[in-house]
């Protein structure tokens, strides 16, 4: 996959070195006492620069969060429904922020309607240990975000044909992934 | 590509107290200093080596995918969510055609008239459109393109609620 660095440079304030750093850490830090120093060696930087750049990328919102990424499916939260909502346009910001705050929600995006086939404009992923817990969580959202009058549907997943994290590989800039993490995505 | 093959970990109750705290308390606010695992050990009252050993085991068992960044979508490359209403008898064939594309990174069957949902990531809009058109032609079915307009999710990690 080719990386669109120009888009980032102009739009988000990250430079080409930031992108090399992101590619070096996106699969995870090496589990060694000084992981930032090891990343720095690979990139020809020093440890302090790596830490500063990660801090800055977080401040810019390109890194949303940095830490332990759990695979909740494997930890027993095996059920999820994509819950889609038909929110009046003037309410969507308020409702989106309300739904997006719950810890059992992992995605909350506004997307376009595709009438007449598809009326829903807000998409949320709601998790639970079983089907009933997912339904109870949806009910809690309906009540607490005042969505009693809002049309919505639960789309339970049935089969997972493919899942891997989006990766931003640049063929022209091959960097070895840290060995213990290679090839394991998800979360 | 990078399909997940890690076996499922043991049920939650077999995690040690240290593992539970590592899973739940360091999903954000991970130390950004030179020796982060020593710092975590200091906060939890264990050694750096115990922290590294426990994280290595959690990773091998599939409980965590990594210690690292969660990237904001759509800041590098472009992506979209796509859906198709596939006649039930054709679902496996169509799903296989969709999964075969390297630009597709998630592909799920969901219980709905729109029964196949997948995420496509590409370097630019033109490439993304070409992938969606190609899938539609190859499968002989329309593809509904649902790009993200706004992200309302506040990622504070996932509360595992051990109690």
Look over chain B and give the mean of its residue pLDDT values, rounded to a whole number. 87
* Sequence-distant (≥ 6) Cβ neighbours of residue B8 within 8 angstroms: A74, B62
Q: Which among B55, B66, B70 has CB closest to A64?
A: B70
pLDDT of residue A76: 77
Q: Are residues A149 and A84 in the same domain?
A: yes
pLDDT of residue A64: 87
Distance from CA of B19 to the nearest CA of A (A): 11
Domain with residue A46: its CATH number is 1.10.10.10
Residue A24 lies in a domain: yes
pLDDT of residue B39: 97
Beta bridge partners, A107, equal A125
Higher-confidence position of B143 and B75:
B143
What is the longest distance spanned by two Cα atoms in chain B? Answer: 60
Look over chain A and give the mean of its residue pLDDT values, rounded to a whole number. 82
Query: A157 near B108, Cβ under 8 Å?
Result: yes
Residue A168 lies in a domain: no
pLDDT of residue B161: 63
Q: What number is the average pLDDT over the span B33-41? A: 97
pLDDT of residue B76: 59
Distance from C-alpha of A187 to C-alpha of A65, rounded to nearest angstrom = 13
- A111 phi/psi in degrees, rounded to 5: -135, 160
Distance from C-alpha of B65 to C-alpha of A69, rounded to nearest angstrom = 6
Residue A175 lies in a domain: no
Provide the CA B88 distance to its chain's centre, in angstroms: 27
Domain with residue A88: its CATH number is 3.30.70.3460
Q: Which ipTM was obtained for this model?
A: 0.71
Query: A47 near B34, Cβ under 8 Å?
Result: yes
Q: Which of A37, A66, A95 is the last residue of a domain?
A: A66
Model confidence at B26, pLDDT cuts 50, 70, 90, reads very high
Q: State how many domains chain A has.
A: 2
Residues 7-36 of A with CB under 8 A from B: 7-8, 11-12, 14, 19, 22, 25-29, 31-36
Model confidence at B51, pLDDT cuts 50, 70, 90, reads very high
**Taking CB atoms and an 8 Å limit, are B62 and A33 in contact across chains?**
no
Residue A98 lies in a domain: yes
pLDDT of residue B157: 66
Concatenate the DSSP letters of all residues of A61-124 into one string. Answer: TSEEEEEEEE-TTTTT--EEEEEEE---GGGHHHHHHHHHT-TTEEEEEE---BTTTB---EEE
**pLDDT tens by residue, B116-147:** 999 998 888 999 999 999 999 999 999 999 99
Report CA torsion sign: B130, B134, B137, B140. Answer: negative
Q: A92-100 vs A131-144: helix axis angle to the nearest 10?
A: 140
What is the longest distance spanned by two Cα atoms in chain A? Answer: 57
Q: Are residues A83 and A152 in the same domain?
A: yes
Report CA torsion sign: A184, A187, B1, B7. Answer: positive
Overall pTM > 0.90: no
Closest-CA residue to B18 (of B60, B57, B68, B61):
B57
Q: How many other CB atoms sit within 10 Å of the CB of residue B40? A: 24
Distance from C-alpha of A60 to C-alpha of B98, rounded to nearest angstrom = 34
Residue A103 lies in a domain: yes
Residues of A with Cβ-Cβ distance to B28 under 8 angstroms? 65-67
Residue A91 lies in a domain: yes
Q: Does A168 touch chain B (CB under 8 A)?
A: yes
Listed by start position, the domains of chain B span 16-60, 78-146
Q: Are residues A30 and A95 in the same domain?
A: no
Q: State in words which class domain B78-146 has.
A: alpha beta
pLDDT in tens, chain A (187 residues): 333 333 343 335 778 899 899 999 999 999 999 999 999 999 999 999 999 999 999 999 889 899 999 887 777 778 889 999 999 999 999 999 999 988 889 889 999 999 999 999 999 999 998 999 999 999 999 999 999 999 999 999 888 898 765 554 443 333 333 333 322 222 2
Residue A105 lies in a domain: yes
B75 three-state secondary structure: coil
pLDDT of residue B123: 82
Q: Are residues A50 and A105 in the same domain?
A: no
Please state, in angstroms and as integers, the Cα–Cα distance from residue A165 to each residue in A71, B41, B69, following that order. Answer: 12, 29, 12
pLDDT of residue A77: 79
State the pairing for strand pair B116-122/A152-163: unpaired
Distance from CA of A101 to the nearest CA of B (A): 6
Residues 124-163 of A with CB under 8 A from B: 127, 153, 155-163
Distance from CA of B3 to the nearest CA of A (A): 6
Distance from C-alpha of A101 to C-alpha of A96, rounded to nearest angstrom = 9
Chains A–B, number of C-beta pairs less than 8 Å apart: 291
Parent domain of A103: 79-156
Residue A101 lies in a domain: yes
CA angle B10, B12, B13 (to 5 degrees): 100
Query: A163 near B3, Cβ under 8 Å?
Result: yes
């Amino acid at each position: 996959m080719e990386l669109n660095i120009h888009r980032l440079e102009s739009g988000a304030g990250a430079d080409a070195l930031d992108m090399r750093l992101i590619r070096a850490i996106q699969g995870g830090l090496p589990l060694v006492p000084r992981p930032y120093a090891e990343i720095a060696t690979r990139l020809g930087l020093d440890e302090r620069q790596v830490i500063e750049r990660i801090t800055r990328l977080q401040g810019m919102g390109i890194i949303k969060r940095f830490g332990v990424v759990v695979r909740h499916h494997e930890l027993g939260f095996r059920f999820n429904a994509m819950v889609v909502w038909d929110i009046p346009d003037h309410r969507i910001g308020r409702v989106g922020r309300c739904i997006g705050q719950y810890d059992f929600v992992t995605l909350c995006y506004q997307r376009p309607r595709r009438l007449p086939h598809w009326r829903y404009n807000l998409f949320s992923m709601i998790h639970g240990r079983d089907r009933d817990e997912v339904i109870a969580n949806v009910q809690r959202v309906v009540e607490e975000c005042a969505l009693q009058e809002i049309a919505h549907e639960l789309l339970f997943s049935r089969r997972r044909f493919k899942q891997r994290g989006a990766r931003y590989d640049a063929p022209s800039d091959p960097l070895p992934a840290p060995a213990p993490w290679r090839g394991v995505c998800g979360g | 590509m990078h399909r997940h093959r890690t076996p499922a970990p043991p049920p939650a109750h077999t995690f040690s107290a240290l593992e539970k705290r590592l899973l739940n308390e360091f999903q954000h606010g991970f130390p950004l200093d030179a020796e982060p695992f020593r710092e975590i050990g200091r906060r939890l009252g264990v050694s750096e080596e115990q922290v590294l050993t426990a994280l290595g085991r959690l990773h091998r068992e599939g409980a965590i995918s990594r210690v690292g960044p969660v990237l904001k979508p759509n800041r590098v490359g472009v992506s979209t969510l796509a859906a198709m209403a596939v006649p039930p008898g054709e679902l496996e064939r169509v799903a296989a055609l969709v999964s075969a594309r390297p630009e597709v990174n998630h592909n799920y069957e969901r219980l709905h008239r729109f029964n196949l949902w997948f995420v496509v990531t590409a370097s630019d809009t033109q490439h993304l459109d070409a992938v969606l058109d190609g899938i539609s032609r190859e499968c002989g079915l329309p593809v509904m393109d649902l790009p993200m307009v706004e992200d309302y999710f506040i990622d504070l990690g996932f509360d595992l609620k051990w109690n």
